[in-house]
Structure 1
Amino acid sequence: MTQKIRTSTHYLAAMILLTVYGGQVCPLIDTLTLAHWGTLVAAAFIPMALLRMWLLPRLLNRVAIYDQPGRQFFFDLGLFLLFGSGLAVYNTVHLGFSVFESGPKVLLGFLIFGFFSGLDLALERERANGLTIIRENISPPETVRYTSLTRKFSGFALATVFLAGTVLILTVVKDVYWLTDVNFAMEGSRAQLLIVAEIGFIMLVLSGYILLIIASYTRNIRLFFGNETSVLRKVREGDLTRRVPRLTADEFGEIAGHTNIMIDGLIERDRIKNVFGKTVSPAIAGRLMDREKQGLSLGGSIQPLAILMCDIRDFTARAEGNPPEQVIEDLNRWFTEAVEATNSHGGVVDKFIGDGILALFGLDGEMDACEKAVACARDMLARLDRLNQSLDTPISVGIGIHKGEVLAGIVGSPERLEFTVVGDPVNTAARIERMTRRLDADILVSAAAHSDLPEGREWRDFGEQSFKGKSQKIRLYGL
């Protein structure tokens, strides 16, 4: 409905203004009465409007929605030129006007109003099509015609300057011709006022049309930028489900396309991050991401950590006596419980070693790392008791906890990196875990870890124990 109302308004305004324009730029047309010339202009506009109403929908249906605004502009401009040429021919044949005196001026008038009217209607079509593209999520075809914004602006500016300048020159020439018949002594002041009024009227009309085009284009830009910024706002909030519809085949469409590529890249980044976060703990993944910003390099730093080593007892026999699928399923169910227990107590699962788990506490410098490690071990055993109620073959584990300074950092090669901890305390924690079988204890902690635990909990003192490869004995405590 907006397009029809806008078209009717433009045609009515152009018809009225062309009626006034004819007498201002052409001395021959000025010899006709206003009613006579107005009737001739109306006789050109009525069939032009009917032809447009019938032909335009059929023409636009044949082209892509992105090409419709440009096609409509040239169609409207062509209609004005066609019927303007017809009126110029009529003036020459039936009224006897000079073909070089009146015809070009009539054609220029139709060209001016056809240009501005067609451009405004094309901008309205572009906006309406943009809303349709957003609503129906239409994508541009491969063959869409690309027109740069600089080309559009340059064309509009050059056409406006040319048309406005030509009309003003013709008006001045006509007034100079008219002044030759004026008695300046009698009518000089009146003649000056009339000339100023004519030029002022032309400038007012041209300025009005230019402002109208600027307003229409500004409204379209508001739609384009609003369309872009609304999606970017969602992206900033973490919503990557939206895409920017490409409303035009110019730089705005290019920006929308690049924004969508960026969103796809963010989705791929999150997908990789999600997979990465499942292969290593989120805390370690975060550390690697932080190191990557500074340039990943091998090496690390010495940190005091509480180290928990958990291993399934008699796993080899279990693997031999059960189907592989069942072994993997039971193992994954246990790992799920163990990882949840570790995370809930502020620990980090560094890696899975076969059927064993290496967990770290104190990576962020917590003072109660050993206490958290023991709480995690107790939670693991409680979860395992519940899990065993649903398993055909119960799982039994041993847990060893030790405290010491380790090298925490990135190891490997430039092509394959891993964040881990290296040092004697890690090996000691593994040996303490193995000692749980011989001492018949589910949880064993070293004296170094035990010294950081709060008093009041009953621990069994197993005394100093010897370990293979260790020159010094280690006192162990068990629950």
Structure 2
Amino acid sequence: MAIHSKIETLQNRLAGQPWFSSRRLQYLYFLLGALVVFVYSRGHVTAMETSGQALGTVTLLSFSLVMVIRYIIDKWFFFQDPNLEIVNKEFLISLGLYLLAGISGYALIVGYFLPEEQIPATKYLIGCLVYGYFVAVDNALNTERRCYYERRYIYAKNVSTTSSSSRLRLFILTTILITVVAMYLSANSVVYSLLAESGPDQRDIQIIFLYDIILMTMVIIGFSMRVAYTYAQNQKYLLDTQIKALQNIQKGDLDSYVPIMSKDEFALIAQNTNKMLEELREKQKVTSVLERIVSPDIMQRLLADDAAMLKQGQKYEVAILFCDLRRFTSFVETTPPDQVIRFLNAFFSKISDLVSTHNGLVNKFMGDAILGVFGAANKETSMQDALQAALHIITHTKTIRLGDADAFDIGIGIHTGFAVAGTIGSADRYEYTFIGDVVNTASRLDGLSKRLGYRIIISDDAYELLNNDFKKRFVDLGFQKIRGKSEAVHVYGAITDAELYEL
């Protein structure tokens, strides 16, 4: 168990550390490259007894030079603050260093150590380029992954991208080109050796050519697999990061964002996801404000409908319930303001719940009055819903006591008809409301309830929409003159016997 625990701990450390992109890997590549280039370029040297020491010295000098330069670059100029912008620079620097090793080795071979050996010098240069190309690609991918682990992301909202398929296609085409060039060089060296008077015999040349092909194939296949593995690891990390971010969003975490960690399709996905997050955060802010100002139903309408439709307004056949508190003015005069506010908040919260329970929505609060709308979603039962809400409101109001232990009284007016719903106000500030004669009439009926001595007054239009059981709760009050109407309105008053309010 202890050994298993240690192994698991080590695996977790390796999974969380970009050890594969450390500087040690750079120098391991240099050492391996020196060996590969030395073996590859040594095959066609005519003076085999002296070539090994000379090529070894050249390899040691040229690769020592680039290793020192690499150390200086890493320590003083590069990777102090890695970010995705330096990935391409890493590729160019790595390739440039191997090119420098090849050029310096070529110059040392031709100019000093083996002036007569043109083919080994050329193979030394080409070997450095071929090997250096694959190492440069792998180093760039490792640098990219190091940036991922160290959270060195691109924070810009718009990032120029290159598709993954384009990058992969470029790598494949370049690899094919390098393979063709290397094969051509090996074939050319065979022909040159056959024409040389002092070169090795034909059988040795065939063996050397086969040897070159095998070595070249091993290097190309090996590093292609290494690059493919590194690239796959990078893509997996990107995909895992995207999935984790989307899972956080799914859980409701809108404060996070999807990091833009690359310059390919994942960057486009991250950009669009972040734009969606910004819109969701903005909508959440609006929702947070609206839910404190309007009812949930109106809030959903404001969020769902477009601004043009809201300004234009929509026509609904609805039942309007208007109610206000009586004796509230005297209560305000004798009660501290903070207690008045607390009372209204508690009272309106309960009334809003009752309205919502009966399929209505609270359009607005006006001092001690409330405007409820029924039928905006289903007009078939709008009047029954409004009346049941009114009866429950009166039942609840009877339980409320003033400071002198007296109960509040309440008046309710209900009228049915067509109303227009939409946003009213200026460009900077507006509210969603219902307007029309039906609203004004319901307000006037509420005022009429006090004069006639009934808590609930409904119009004849509203009365006709009730079923027989509900109609039994009302008495005909005849035609009544109300303010704002040129003609009298036929109204009905609810019977006040407590037994009739049992729903």
TM-score bracket for the superposition, by shorter chain length: 0.7 to 0.9
Matches of 1:445 and 1:364, distance apart in 2: 21
Correspondence for 2:192? 177
Correspondence for 2:14? none
Matching of residue 374 in structure 1 with residue 387 in structure 2: yes
CA distances 1:243-272 after superposition (whole Å, capped 9, x unpaired): 112324677556535532431222112222
Q: Which residues of structure 1 form unaligned runs of 5+?
A: none
Matches of 2:386 and 2:264, distance apart in 1: 60
Matches of 2:277 and 2:183, distance apart in 1: 52
SS at structure 1 position matched to 2:378: coil
Correspondence for 1:405? 417
Matching of residue 350 in structure 1 with residue 363 in structure 2: yes
- The one-letter code of the counterpart of 1:473 is H
Correspondence for 1:432? 445
Count of aligned positions = 465
Q: Percent identity?
A: 24
Matching of residue 131 in structure 1 with residue 131 in structure 2: no
Correspondence for 1:310? 323
The one of 213, 220, 241 equivalent to 2:255 is 241
Question: 1:452-467 residue pairs with structure 2 within 5 A?
Answer: 452=466, 455=469, 459=473, 461=475, 463-464=477-478, 466-467=480-481
CA contact (8 A) 1:465 1:476 kept: no
CA contact (8 A) 1:450 1:477 kept: no
CA contact (8 A) 2:110 2:118 kept: no
Matching of residue 226 in structure 1 with residue 253 in structure 2: no
SS at structure 2 position matched to 1:247: coil
Question: 1:239-388 residue pairs with structure 2 within 5 A?
Answer: 239-248=253-262, 253=267, 256-257=270-271, 259-292=273-306, 295-296=309-310, 298-303=312-317, 305-317=318-330, 327-365=340-378, 367-384=380-397, 388=401
TM-score w.r.t. length of structure 1: 0.77
CA distances 1:79-104 after superposition (whole Å, capped 9, x unpaired): 43444444444434653324865444
Correspondence for 2:4? none
Matches of 1:381 and 1:37, distance apart in 2: 105
- The one-letter code of the counterpart of 2:259 is P
Distance 1:376 1:35, change over 3 A: farther
Distance 1:99 1:192, change over 3 A: closer
Matches of 2:131 and 2:117, distance apart in 1: 21
CA distances 1:408-466 after superposition (whole Å, capped 9, x unpaired): 44375895876544444433322332233224343344565456257389836363351
**Backbone CA RMSD of aligned residues:** 4.4
The one of 2, 19, 37 equivalent to 1:18 is 37
- The one-letter code of the counterpart of 1:226 is D
CA contact (8 A) 1:301 1:409 kept: yes
Matches of 1:202 and 1:296, distance apart in 2: 72
Correspondence for 1:120? 138
- The one-letter code of the counterpart of 1:271 is K
CA contact (8 A) 2:260 2:266 kept: yes
Distance 1:221 1:52, change over 3 A: same
- For structure 1, which segment, 365-374 or 107-116, has the greater mean C-alpha deviation from structure 2 after superposition? 365-374
Distance 1:418 1:52, change over 3 A: closer
Matches of 1:390 and 1:41, distance apart in 2: 101
- For structure 1, which segment, 240-249 or 450-459, has the greater mean C-alpha deviation from structure 2 after superposition? 450-459
Shift of residue 192 of structure 1?
A: 6.2
- The one-letter code of the counterpart of 1:115 is Y
Q: Which residues of structure 2 form unaligned runs of 5+?
A: 1-18, 497-503
Distance 1:141 1:356, change over 3 A: closer
CA contact (8 A) 1:337 1:384 kept: no
